[in-house]
Amino acid sequence: MAHHIEVTKRFNVPAKKVWAVLADWGHVDKWHFSVEKSPIMDGKVFGPGAKRTCNFYDGSSVVEEIIDYQEGESFTVVISEFSMPLKSMKAGTSVKVIDENSCDITIDMDFVVKGGPLGWLMGIILVKPMMKSITKKLLNGLAYHAATEKLVANKLPSPQELASAFNR
């Protein structure tokens, strides 16, 4: 049985700036706090069929492939080759214009944990809260990088840095 999470946050960053960062498909490492490198696979840089490997600072990695794409609005990826105890994982990202200087960014995920009923329970108790926490951090890193062009790398900006970036 699949688990679902969805996190939406509003940021004082123009949607076009956020989308430009997302469209830089081979450089999620600029704003994702745990991705060290994210090389493009097979030469396609963005859009349906584009693939990248996300190599994490802890030595693990995943492969992400775009399976649905709406220019300037949203995309969905299927995630594979992960070391986590998952059977499957899919994630969507969308950017909704609020006004010329702000947007809502949503990341939603559906995943199935290996292990039958025990895996399902582990998904509720451990994996789902962990994924929700990571997703909130991802959104902060994405919006911070879009607003400031500063690299997030393996350290998230402090609450003060986030506040100053979004209250310009």
Chain centre to alpha carbon of residue 14: 18
Question: Average model confidence (pLDDT) for the chain?
Answer: 94
pLDDT at 168 over 80: no
* pLDDT at residue 41, as a whole number: 96
Mean pLDDT for the stretch of residues 82-107: 96
Hey, which CATH number is domain 3-166, 3.40.50.2300, 3.30.530.20, 3.30.420.40, 3.40.50.150? 3.30.530.20
Confidence of residue 47 (pLDDT cuts 50, 70, 90): very high
pLDDT at 143 over 70: yes
Confidence of residue 123 (pLDDT cuts 50, 70, 90): very high
Confidence of residue 149 (pLDDT cuts 50, 70, 90): very high
Confidence of residue 167 (pLDDT cuts 50, 70, 90): low
- Answer yes or no: pTM beyond 0.85: yes
Mean pLDDT for the stretch of residues 17-41: 95
